[in-house]
DNA sequence: TTTTATCTGTGAAATATATCACAGATATTG
DNA sequence: CAATATCTGTGATATATTTCACAGATAAAA
């Protein structure tokens, strides 16, 4: 979108969108239609209008606060990469159980001891978290995140986490080793089908 | 599985598996049945046998080589975390375009300049790659990985990559910001449905 | 052995998702 | 203005995935 706007275009067709994201124009139209009739027959979708509508429906226009739990190698890499986050997500806190880590880490983002987790999340209204603690600690961490009222979690620890639907907390598991297994399975199955 | 074996159990029912991974016992049975009839009515699945069968069908018993492209913060975190990888995945190489990075990085895993990418992958038979270069470079990197005969890619760069089906290369995109957007969308939609 | 409990494998039914096809509205061209 | 090209929104169709229900096999108990 930004790319197209940069090129001076002010509207875009379902076909163009489809090509960009590798899906059929049918699907693009159908998906967009779920959030309302906002296209113009003959010319397509007005980009600014489309972005506004999607943003409103999906709550992407409001700024949301995020935190990182577990400031090891991976956690600090993410913490220090806030430029990666689009302007509606802000990492406002880091947590670790090791006081040593907290005291030695140099970053302009406030870092706290992990026992304050639930409290700080609640007080600051943090809605999103990235978990980068060792696997054995992740179960405990998610419980406390939920206790603090977290809404969404990206879990990098090697043990897959399931948030209970009842508590309305959504979690995505990012597991490199698991993904490697999945990818291997894909291409071995392909080979077994004779390739 | 290992957990259950540790407890002395030698077989497991679809029900028990389902509880562990939060899916219905129906689904467990159906999925397992796709790779053959290996269960025993009345007592369930013999764990050792089950693991062997799944491993063979999905190619998880053979050791596969992996590499990391882009040795920045994120890339080195992954490179230095090889304990994270189960014993059938081995990171055998790292790549970066900056000679400086390559020379200063301390690790026991060999690191190479990025222009050798395709060659080294082919010669060493590397099948899997993790991309952790800045977004603008990822398109080029994937082309060269494919050229070198890569089979699977986990892409951390912020631009989503699609491997062409024709070339039979599978890619998974791990995008934290994107996942945050997705999670936000989930819980805002829930709120709009009145919660 | 007989009875009862357990558990798999799978056809069938129910859902969900993706794809298609086209009426009808707008834009563009001459 | 008329004719043609473009493009959306959506009902209908097709495909895929989940869930269900149960026959029939094995194990355990009596
Ligand atoms: N750091 C994170 O937490 C994080 C999280 C999610 C995604 N990402 C994404 O991962 C990527 C890397 O993040 P980072 O924080 O490690 O950045 P970084 O700048 O620390 O590292 C990037 C590395 O890639 C190397 N590089 C650049 N061009 C290259 C090329 N053509 N070939 C080979 N190597 C090349 C650079 O020399 C550098 O070492 C970015 O796209 C970022 O958006 C980062
Ligand atoms: N490093 C990677 O590339 C990578 C990739 C994928 C997944 N992971 C997973 O991410 C997790 C972290 O990886 P890492 O390499 O950063 O490990 P790490 O050991 O460098 O960091 C773990 C950090 O978590 C902290 N911690 C431990 N228990 C805690 C608790 N109860 N509360 C708060 N903080 C606690 C530790 O003090 C440490 O700083 C691991 O589960 C790993 O399997 C890592």
What residue of A is the nearest CA neighbor of B34? A189
Give the whole-angstrom CA distance, residue A58 versus residue A4. Answer: 22
Terminal-residue alpha carbon distance, chain B: 38
- Best residue among A69, A72, A99 to mutate for probing ligand 2, ranked by most atoms within 8 Å of CB: A72
Give the residue from A128, A94, A137, A138 showing the smallest Cα distance to A113.
A94
**B84 touches B71 (CB < 8 A):** no
Which residues does a 6 A CB cutoff place in the pocket of ligand 2? A 69-75, 95-98, 101, 114, 132-135, 137, 140-141, 156-158, 176; B 77-78, 81, 84
Question: Which of the four pLDDT bands, split at 50, 70 and 90, describes residue A3?
Answer: confident
| Shared-domain flag, residues B51 and B68 | no
| Shared-domain flag, residues B31 and B91 | no
Q: Quick one: three-class SS letters along chain A?
A: CHHHHHCCCCEECHHHHHHHHCCCHHHHHHHHHCCCCCEECCCEEEHHHHHHHHHHHHCCCCCEEEEEECCCHHHHHHHCCHHHCCCCEEEEEEEECCHHHHHHCCCCCCEEEHHHHHHHHHHHCCCEEEECCCHHHHHHHHHHHHHCCCCEEEECCCCCCCCCHHHCCEEEECCHHHHHHHHHHHHHHHHHCCC
| Shared-domain flag, residues B151 and B117 | yes
| Shared-domain flag, residues B76 and B91 | yes
| Shared-domain flag, residues B109 and B143 | yes
Residue A130 covered by a domain: yes
**Residue with structure tokens 């226009």?**
A61
**Boundary-marking domain end, from A11, A29, A58:** A58
| Shared-domain flag, residues A69 and A32 | no
Give the whole-angstrom CA distance, residue B15 versus residue B12. Answer: 8
Q: What's the pLDDT at B52?
A: 94
Range of the domain at A38: 2-58
In strand D, which positions have an atom below 7 A from any protein CB? 5-11, 18-21, 24-28
By Cβ distance, the residue of B170, B177, B180 closest to A186 is B170
Residues of A in contact with B21 (CB under 8 A): 160
A35-47 tens-digit pLDDT = 999 999 999 999 9
**Residue with structure tokens 């027959």?**
A41
What residue of A is the nearest CA neighbor of B73? A77
Q: What's the pLDDT at B153?
A: 96
Nucleic strand C near CB of residue B30 (< 7 Å) = yes
pTM: 0.93
Q: What's the pLDDT at A13?
A: 96
Residue B182 covered by a domain: no
A and B: number of Cβ contacts within 8 A: 144
The alpha carbon of B76 and the centre of ligand 1 are apart by a number of angstroms equal to 10
> In Å, what is the CA distance from B106 to each residue of B77, B91, B99, B132?
12, 15, 13, 18
| Shared-domain flag, residues A119 and A75 | yes
Give the whole-angstrom CA distance, residue A184 versus residue B82. Answer: 18
| Both tokens assigned to B91 | 């990171």
Q: Which residues contact B143 (CB under 8 A, 6 or more apart)?
A: none
What residue of B is the nearest CA neighbor of A19? B162
Q: How many CA atoms lie within 13 A of B153 on its CB side?
A: 30
Residue B186: DSSP 8-state:
H
Residue A16 covered by a domain: yes
B116-129 tens-digit pLDDT = 999 999 999 999 99
The CATH number for A27's domain is: 1.10.10.10
At what angle are helices A176-192 and B47-58 packed, to 10 degrees?
Answer: 70
Q: Which of residues 22-41 of A touch strand D (CB under 7 A)?
A: 25-26, 29-30, 32-33, 37-41
Give the whole-angstrom CA distance, residue A127 versus residue B37. Answer: 45
Residue B22 covered by a domain: yes
Residue A158 covered by a domain: yes
Ligand closest in space to the Cα of A86: 1
The protein residue with its alpha carbon nearest to ligand 2, atom 40, reads: A134
| Shared-domain flag, residues A78 and A170 | yes
Whether residue B139 lies within 8 A of chain A, CB to CB, comes out as no
A87-117 tens-digit pLDDT = 799 999 999 999 999 999 999 999 999 999 9
| Shared-domain flag, residues A52 and A73 | no
* E strand or H helix at B147: helix B135-147
Question: Which of the four pLDDT bands, split at 50, 70 and 90, describes residue A193?
Answer: low
CB-CB under 8 Å, B176 with A154: yes
Give the whole-angstrom CA distance, residue A168 versus residue A152. Answer: 9
The CATH number for A85's domain is: 3.40.50.720
Protein residue closest via CA to C1' of D26: B42
Residues of A in contact with B128 (CB under 8 A): 180, 183-184
Residue B102 covered by a domain: yes
Instruction: Output the tens digit of pLDDT for each of chain B's 195 residues.
Output: 777 778 777 899 999 999 999 999 999 999 999 999 999 999 999 999 999 999 999 999 999 999 999 999 999 999 998 777 777 999 999 999 999 999 999 999 999 999 999 999 999 999 999 999 999 999 999 999 999 999 999 999 988 888 765 678 999 999 999 999 999 998 888 777 654
| Shared-domain flag, residues A76 and A147 | yes
Q: What is the mean pLDDT of residues A13-30?
A: 94
Percentage of the residues of chain A whose pLDDT score is greater than 70: 96
Residue B80 covered by a domain: yes
| Shared-domain flag, residues B85 and B38 | no
| Shared-domain flag, residues B83 and B165 | yes
Exposed, middle or buried: residue B3 (CB in 10 Å: 0-12, 13-18, 19+)? exposed
Q: What is the mean pLDDT of residues A113-126?
A: 97
Is ligand 1 within 6 A of the CB of residue B67? no
A63-83 tens-digit pLDDT = 999 999 999 999 999 999 877
Structurally, chain B folds into a number of domains equal to 2
Residue A189 covered by a domain: no
């Amino acid at each position: 979108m930004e790319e197209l706007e940069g090129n001076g275009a002010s509207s875009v067709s379902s076909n163009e969108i489809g090509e960009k994201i590798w899906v059929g124009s049918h699907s693009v139209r159908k998906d967009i239609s779920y959030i309302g009739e906002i296209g113009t027959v003959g010319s397509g979708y007005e980009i600014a209008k489309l972005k506004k509508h999607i943003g409103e429906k999906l709550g992407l226009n409001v700024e949301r606060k995020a935190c990182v739990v577990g400031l090891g190698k991976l956690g600090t890499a993410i913490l220090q990469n806030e430029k990666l986050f689009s302007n509606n997500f802000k990492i406002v806190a880091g947590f670790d159980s090791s006081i040593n880590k907290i005291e030695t880490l140099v970053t302009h983002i406030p870092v706290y001891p992990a026992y304050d987790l639930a409290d700080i999340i609640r007080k600051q209204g943090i809605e999103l978290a990235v978990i980068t603690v060792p696997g054995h600690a992740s179960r405990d961490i998610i419980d406390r995140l939920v206790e603090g009222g977290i809404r969404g979690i990206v879990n990098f620890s090697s043990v897959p986490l399931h948030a209970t639907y009842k508590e309305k907390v959504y979690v995505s598991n990012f597991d490199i080793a698991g993904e490697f297994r999945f990818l291997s399975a894909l291409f071995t199955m392909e080979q077994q089908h004779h390739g």
